[in-house]
Amino acid sequence: MPQYAVLIYSPAPADPMELTPDYVALLEQYPAKVTELGGRIVTGFALQPSTTAAAIRGDLVTDGPFIEAKEVVAGFFVLEAPDRDVALEIAKLNPATIHGAVEVRPLFVAPTE
């Protein structure tokens, strides 16, 4: 089954320790919704707040995320879904769409010779 990276964008600094109980409840319900639509979350990770990030460009290392933005990458998960349309339907149900955004991108599969 095809796999998709689902990137979660939240308002900066996207501190997972500041999630409200209501939002956590929505997150806990999400895997069941994914399964109902024929998908499966393979793995997922929340990231530390964007204030802990470092950006590297050439030899220059700076504190903070790569770019200044109101929304930052807060986490990601790998989703298996039958096709892109199902992956998008699953992503639309993600609670992050309430106050942030979700990006869906197919994982690269190297061509076989």
The Cα 68–Cα 64 span in angstroms is: 8
Nearest Cα neighbor of 73 from 112, 27, 25, 16 is 16
The domain in which residue 22 lies consists of 3-106
The Cα 95–Cα 24 span in angstroms is: 9
Residue-wise pLDDT for 97-111, tens only, equals: 998 999 999 999 888
Report yes or no on 15 lying in a domain.
Answer: yes
Report yes or no on 88 lying in a domain.
Answer: yes
The Cα 11–Cα 94 span in angstroms is: 15
Report yes or no on 111 lying in a domain.
Answer: no
- The secondary structure of residue 94, as a DSSP letter, is S
Report yes or no on 59 lying in a domain.
Answer: yes
Report yes or no on 12 lying in a domain.
Answer: yes
The number of C-alpha atoms within 13 Å of 55 and in the hemisphere containing its C-beta is: 10
CATH of the domain at 85: 3.30.70.1060
Structure token digits, residue 71: 């929304």
What's the domain count of the chain?
A: 1
Report yes or no on 74 lying in a domain.
Answer: yes
Tens place of pLDDT per residue across the chain (113 aa) = 999 999 999 998 999 999 999 999 999 999 999 999 999 999 999 999 988 988 888 888 888 766 667 888 999 999 999 999 999 999 999 999 998 999 999 999 888 87
